[in-house]
Structure 1
Amino acid sequence: MSTVALGAWRTRFELIQYFRSGDTLVFTFLFPIALLALFSAIFGADGDFSAGPGLPAVPVAQMYLPAMLAAGMLLSGFQNLAMDIAGERTNGMLKRLGATPLSPMSYFLGKIGQVGATSVIQAGLIIAFAAIVFDVPLPTEPEKWVTFAWVFVLGVVTSSLLGVALSAVPRSGRSASAVIIPIVLVVQFISGVYLFFFLLPDWLQTVASALPVKWMAQGMREVFLPAEYAVLEQNGEWNLTGVAIALAVWLLIGLLLARLTFRWNRRDA
């Protein structure tokens, strides 16, 4: 079988295993929705929110929706994959797979396929929840959804490849959560997931510009926020070209790191 065919077969296997894990399902699908509901309830008690003079007021949930979509991609790809692969390496599954015709690239494709499929479901649930429960207006222009699609695809693939690379850091599956979760939390705070990005100090916005999550969220803000809100970005524009370049660069970095660091066994095993 070809690399792609083996990757497709592996995607099917990964999805079956994923949907058999109830705790993973609850965390992946409900956590971003719970955060969206929590932030909307806390900061939206006084009604719609305006970020500054001359900017139209919008529901708080609309302000947080792009960040929650970016966080969902990060959790599904970066965090979950890193922890899952570290666990598979510890319990010997990767060693057994290494003795089969499955190549690392087919293995990566299977993981990315699983993350992609589940991320589509997750994003659909978050958007539907925001629209139905908090009356967030959804874009009507086709070009907005085209932007959503390419930002989403680049974000999912980039997060997945970086997750594969990060899986080499924990020395065991038992220590994976202690190593990976703090990294994910820090990245989210720096990138303006839990705080509105325009409220972060300039130096922290500059730091965030070196991370892919900031660009995922920025692309999503262009899709779901009014055009006037572009003035709140670093350079006063959505800069979709910059979003595409940054995510493409991080995708290539993730692919290189994943291929260089991935081992069926730990080096010191």
Structure 2
Amino acid sequence: MSAGSATAGDRTTTTGDQSLGGLGGILRLGASRVIYETRVYFRSPDSVFFTFLFPFIMLGIFTAAFGAAGNIGTNPDGTGGITVGAYYLPGMLAAGMLLSGVQNLAVDIAGEKSDGTLKRLGGTPLSPLSYFMGKIGEVLVTATIQAALLILVARFALGIDLPTEPGKWLTFAWVFLFGVITCAFLGIALSALPRSGKSATAVVIPIVLILQFISGVYLQFYVLPEWMQNVAGLFPLKWMAQGMRGVFLPESFAALEQSGTWDFPLVALNLGIWLAVGLVLSRVTFRWIRKDT
């Protein structure tokens, strides 16, 4: 969940004695932070297990546990439909985006505040923009690797058919990119909520878990009560999962959505709103050190 296993001294070293030459220096320092943050992420066992590997584990569990019950969406005569694994793949991709962005960054940055890392970084030439670049870049890199591996595992280990139309993969690209960046900003903003690094997981994980249950990740979205679907529609995970279902599920499954269609323009609109909200909140709430410390 957190990449906080690296020491504060290690983190500060990446910025020590570096001078920024305007915007170019900020961007170069931000790029170096992406490499550093990604390396730290993969060196942290809890981050790798609870954010990177978790969707793989859940997809395997759902496929093994419910696969014997037959296909989902079969015709009255028992033909057609898709496998359980194929149905849950879009939800697991959306969950991976949420875990990589919201959960990972919220817990990680809260830990950095608690152990004094941010205070030390505040005394270096590192600007908040370079810091944000490092965090968001790390999320983009790790989420992309995770999604690629998850799709490969689905195809070659679980035998799940993948889309063949280029338009489907173009939709996947913009939903994925939009969703990951949105989740990264929301993760930065949410990191201001925990009172300490020790309480971060207790604060963040229940929020993330509840969203996954009501947004069509672990439960089939169309069987949830309408009021729960409406509540889920207030948050970005529902729209990320819907966008992914529109990419990987047959067109006949669109009738099971609330509007009876994949409604990609509405997916884009809601993710755009949450991206703007996350951007504003992350900039307003972020401090090198908490005001009350």
Following superposition, the deviation at residue 53 of structure 1 comes to 5.4
2:76 and 2:113 mapped to 1: Cα distance? Answer: 54
What's 1:132 paired with?
Answer: 156
SS in 2 for 1:45: helix
1:195-210 mapped onto 2 (5 Å cutoff): 195-210=219-234
What's 2:62 paired with?
Answer: 39
Letter in 1 for 2:148: G
Aligned mate of 1:193, from 213, 217, 225? 217
What's 2:97 paired with?
Answer: 73
1:199 and 1:126 mapped to 2: Cα distance? Answer: 25
SS in 2 for 1:134: coil
Letter in 1 for 2:239: W
2:158 and 2:58 mapped to 1: Cα distance? Answer: 13
What's 2:247 paired with?
Answer: 223
Q: In the alignment, is residue 242 of structure 1 matched against residue 266 of structure 2?
A: yes
Taking a change above 3 Å as real, the CA distance of residues 65 and 28 of structure 1, as seen in their structure-2 partners, is: same
What's 1:106 paired with?
Answer: 130
What's 1:148 paired with?
Answer: 172
Q: Check the 8 A contact 2:37/2:135 in 1, yes or no.
A: yes
What's 2:45 paired with?
Answer: 22
Aligned mate of 1:176, from 182, 188, 200? 200
Aligned mate of 1:158, from 182, 186, 193? 182
**Greater mean deviation of Cα atoms: 130-139 or 59-68:** 130-139
Structure 1 outlier segments of 4+, above 4 Å: 51-55
SS in 1 for 2:139: helix
Following superposition, the deviation at residue 8 of structure 1 comes to 1.0
Letter in 1 for 2:32: W
Letter in 1 for 2:286: F
Flag structure 1 segments of 5+ consecutive residues without an equivalent: none
Q: In the alignment, is residue 62 of structure 1 matched against residue 86 of structure 2?
A: yes
What's 2:30 paired with?
Answer: 7
2:171 and 2:254 mapped to 1: Cα distance? Answer: 15
TM-score by length of 1: 0.96
2:187 and 2:210 mapped to 1: Cα distance? Answer: 15
**Greater mean deviation of Cα atoms: 150-159 or 126-135:** 126-135
- C-alpha root-mean-square deviation of aligned residues, in Å? 1.5
Taking a change above 3 Å as real, the CA distance of residues 232 and 53 of structure 1, as seen in their structure-2 partners, is: farther
Letter in 1 for 2:93: L
Following superposition, the deviation at residue 22 of structure 1 comes to 2.8
1:162 and 1:175 mapped to 2: Cα distance? Answer: 18
Q: Check the 8 A contact 1:28/1:122 in 2, yes or no.
A: no
Instruction: Please identify the structure whose Cα radius of gyration is greater.
Output: 2
Q: Check the 8 A contact 1:59/1:134 in 2, yes or no.
A: no
Flag structure 2 segments of 5+ consecutive residues without an equivalent: 1-19
Q: Check the 8 A contact 1:76/1:115 in 2, yes or no.
A: yes
Following superposition, the deviation at residue 4 of structure 1 comes to 2.5
1:188 and 1:110 mapped to 2: Cα distance? Answer: 26
Q: In the alignment, is residue 232 of structure 1 matched against residue 256 of structure 2?
A: yes
Deviations 1:28-59 (A, max 9, x none): 22211110011111111133222675994101
TM-score by length of 2: 0.88
Aligned mate of 1:116, from 126, 137, 140? 140
Percent sequence identity over matched residues?
A: 58
